[in-house]
Structure 1
């Protein structure tokens, strides 16, 4: 069922959209498609927060649909949105790029935005987090804090740049570190991720990077039971346990949503594949655990500032 977000909900959940509401520009109504749910407290929730920011800033009607995980469902949803007068649609995942490349030809008055995909038409855009650097700094934190010199990564897919970055950052900090990487093959397969976590425990890793937004919360809770450490993923997950979560590699999806909507509203949103990093204010490290010593936090902070200014990582 198509859900419309009311003004009462917005007054409760307003998340600090910058500036005064704008009533003019290209934006008319905005739609959001998510493959699972907006209630996962990670990826889906971040997309929903972005939608709320857009509504607040641009005074626009916004709609969302959950469970949009097939071509047929997406086609039906886009038609519903079009009937409602939506002219900007966010597909919250890389799978939507393929759907939108086909559908966009039939809806020339709608601009379609996906994530981490390959946008091919004039009215399609893919927003890509350039996540290698956040992984690199997260790997440095993990390498600094490990006592066993063994780290475990439970990633969703091999193509994730943050996973390679985590490995390289850890090895740069200490080339004697052993980084073991497992691939779940899905963002949300809790059962498989938890099975891999037990293998990580058995191999002696004491810092784990659960780089999958659908399963990282149960992984963190299990790691907490063992008294070990994690580097959080996508959102700042320090609230899950400041003694457990050393820091988080944060992708500020809500900020990127608002940025993309602003560019569209001003008729400046480019088609094709766009890339965003720490310099754009949409990627950062999260809150540090008090277990991470102050001097090292300052070192990482200086490395990040230098990266923002020069584009160079500590190993370059």
Structure 2
């Protein structure tokens, strides 16, 4: 059973031997806070993988704490990290932006990094995936592959840019496609998400985009049972079934963590809100199902390349 507080040593996990010399730079040790667990196989796992990438690339000690779901427990964890010499902390979620804005002035020697929030202090940074385009391309694939001309988005919250992106992408590919949009209003409510997915499929939706990292795996399993299709979310989910997962909209959290740690180590990490997209190679489409014809896959790759070069999406 994983301990709530862990120290992952490079010599144990990645090199198998000790005695490496750490590179000189601003970075000393790194901490990660996750709201639930690192074992969810989606968002939390991606954060942990990012932590290991930093450990491997920059040869520093790293720490993590799970169940960090309130300001009280976050404040205690930050205090512990500070005592251990951590000077870069990742809060793996949007809720940490507010926590870090309150805490960061007490720890001027630590830089605090969160996701999808608003960083207000000099030693805080918020990372934002520009997810409209990934949703757009996912919508194109969904509309193209729908046999009943009905696709659906099963989103966590209304503010997610990928929802509107999916809707517009589906219409760009097939202007008469019907797009259903439903909200779970939580990242992790598996039961509600499955109920909504069943309702969608009962109404004729045959391609679903489960845009919630905590519930998308059980939704994919339910869709698979019914012989229909999904667009994966956050990670490449083709391993859940190539005949079910048409492709995935991937946010490469691990690579982004590595980029941010390297910038901090060089003294180049900016405070405030930073955005990342396909052009930064941290957002991509995943492996395509064999069910998707090769000529359409090539078409999608050309569209993505055009977007990376010009910022323009298909009309």
Q: Which residue of 2 aligns with 1:232?
A: 232
The one of 1, 4, 9 aligned to 2:7? 4
Question: Residue in 2 aligned with 1:207?
Answer: 207
Shift of 1:144: 0.3
Gapped regions of structure 2 (runs ≥ 5): none
Match of 2:220 in 1: 220
- 1:183-232: CA deviations, max 9, x gaps? 11111110110111111111100000000000000000010011100000
Q: 1:231–1:245: 8 Å Cα contact kept in structure 2? A: yes
Structure 1's unaligned 5+ residue stretches are 14-19
Deviation at 1:256, TM superposition (A): 0.2
3-state SS, counterpart of residue 35 of structure 1: coil
Alignment partner of 1:185: what SS? coil
Indicate whether 1:309 and 2:309 are aligned: yes
1:8 deviates by 5.4
- Residue aligning to 1:17: none
Output one character per residue of 1:106-134: Cα deviation in whole Å (capped at 9) or x when no partner.
00000000001100000000000001001
Distance in 1 (alpha carbons) for counterparts of 2:160 and 2:24: 38
1:136 aligns with 2:139: no
User: Are 2:246 and 1:243 aligned?
Assistant: no
Where does residue 173 of structure 2 map in the other structure? 173
Checking the alignment, whether the CA contact within 8 Å between 2:10 and 2:55 is kept in structure 1 is no
Query: Are 1:283 and 2:283 matched, yes or no?
Result: yes
Q: Residues 221, 302 of structure 1: CA spacing in aligned structure 2 closer, same or farther, 3 A cutoff? A: same
How far, CA to CA, are the matches of 1:190 and 1:48 in structure 2?
22
Residues 14 and 56, structure 2, Cα contact 8 Å, conserved in 1: no
Q: Distance in 1 between matches of 2:184 and 2:304?
A: 30
Contact 1:133–1:165 (Cα < 8 Å) also in 2: yes
Pair 1:12–1:138, CA change in 2 (3 A):
farther
- Counterpart-to-counterpart distance in 1, 2:177 and 2:99: 42
CA contact (8 A) 1:21 1:58 kept: no
Report if the CA contact (8 A) 1:21-1:57 is conserved. no
Matches of 1:139 and 1:71, distance apart in 2 = 37
Counterpart in the other structure of 1:108: 108
Q: CA deviation at 1:21?
A: 7.8
Q: Structure 2: how far apart are the matches of 1:12 and 1:206?
A: 46
Q: How does 1:247-286 map to 2 (within 5 A)?
A: 247-286=247-286
- Does 1:82 find its partner at 2:85? no
Query: Counterpart in 1 of 2:51?
Result: 51
Q: Is the 8 A contact 1:10 1:56 kept in 2?
A: no
* TM-score relative to the length of structure 1: 0.96
The secondary structure found in structure 1 opposite 2:98 is: helix
Q: Are 1:72 and 2:80 counterparts? A: no
Contact map agreement 1:276 1:282 (CA 8 A) in 2: yes
Sort the Cα spacing of 1:71 and 1:153 in 2 relative to 1 into closer, same or farther, 3 A.
same
Whole-angstrom CA distance in 2 between matches of 1:22 and 1:188: 39
What is the aligned partner in structure 1 of residue 62 from structure 2? 62
CA, structure 1 residues 305+3, in 2 after alignment: closer, same or farther (shift >3 Å)?
A: same
Give every structure 1 segment of 4 or more consecutive aligned residues whose post-TM-superposition deviation is greater than 6 Å: none
Given the two structures, how large is their TM-score scaled by the length of structure 2?
0.96
3-state DSSP class of the match of 1:309?
Answer: helix
